[in-house]
Amino acid sequence: MACGPSPTPGGYSVTPTEPLVRTSAGQAAVRPPLPVKLVIAGGFGVGKTTAVGSISEIEPLTTEAAITEVAAGVDDLSHTPRKTTTTVAMDFGCITIDPTLKLYLFGTPGQERFGFMWDDIVEGAVGGLVIVDTRRLDDCYAAVDYFEHKQIPFAVAVNAFDGQTAHTLDEVRWALDVSEGVPLLVFDARERGSVRDALLVVLEQALARSGG
C-alpha cells in the first residue's frame, strides 16, 4: 500500500522513499532504512490487530482463528460482541517512517494462555505499545507488568472505542500504577495517523532510554 507524505509532531515523515549514497566507485546506490522492531501488546480485543492493519504499508500477516464456543466461555466478549476471531500467535506489519528508518510491528496475542509466546515475539524489540480498553483495565495488567519486568521502554495507548473513554488518563495511570516516565495517550486504532503518532511516542521512549 502506497504511503503519501505525512509529517508528524516529531518531524518524521511516513513517505517510503530510499536515500541514495555513493559507493567507493562513485556509483549511486540505495541505502536501506534501519530496521527497528516494536511490539504492540494488550488484552483480548483491545485493538492490536486493528492497529497493525491500519498502519502497515504491506498486507499485514495475521494469525486469526475463529472464536469457538469453548473460547467464548473463557474470553470476555461482553464489550466486543461482534468479535468472531482472535489472534492465536501474532500479527505482523511494517511502516517506513522516513528514508532512514523502518518499523517492524509485532502484535502479541491478548489472552494470558498464549503468554508462553511472548518471549520469542518480544526478543530484539526496542519498545512496546500497550493498548488499553478503559472499560476493562485489568486486561492489560499482564502486558504492563511484562514490559516493566523486562525493562523494555513502552507507552500506554488508550483506545477510544466509539470516540469515548471510560476514565481519564490520570485515572488510568493511577489504576495501572505506572510511573510518570511512561507516556499515556489516547488514540484510535482504526486511524492510520493516530497509530503512527502512538508508535512515534514509543520510538522516542526507546531513543531516550538508549541515549540516542
Complete DSSP assignment for 103-143: EEEEEPPSSGGGGGGHHHHHTT-SEEEEEE-GGGGGGGHHH
pLDDT beyond 90 at 180: yes
**pLDDT at residue 118, rounded to an integer:** 81
Q: pLDDT tens digits, residue range 100-155? A: 999 999 998 855 655 567 888 899 999 999 999 998 898 889 999 999 999 999 99
Across all residues in the chain, what is the average pLDDT? Answer: 79
Q: Are strands 101-107 and 91-98 parallel, antiparallel or unpaired?
A: antiparallel
Q: Average of pLDDT values for 169-188?
A: 95
- Confidence band for 209, pLDDT divided at 50, 70 and 90: confident
Contact 46, 75 (CB under 8 A): no
User: Which among 107, 98, 169 is positioned nearest to 143, based on CA atoms?
Assistant: 107
Q: pLDDT tens digits, residue range 69-83? A: 434 444 454 444 444
Give the number of other Cβ atoms within 10 Å of residue 159's Cβ: 23
**pLDDT at residue 28, rounded to an integer:** 60
Q: Average of pLDDT values for 202-206?
A: 94
Separation CA 42–CA 50 (nearest Å): 12
C-alpha cell belonging to residue 85: 476471531
Selected residue with higher pLDDT from 63 and 45: 45
Could you tell me the pTM of the whole model?
0.75
- Helix (H/G/I), strand (E/B), else coil: 210: helix
**pLDDT at residue 163, rounded to an integer:** 79
Q: pLDDT tens digits, residue range 1-28? A: 444 444 443 444 444 444 555 556 666 6
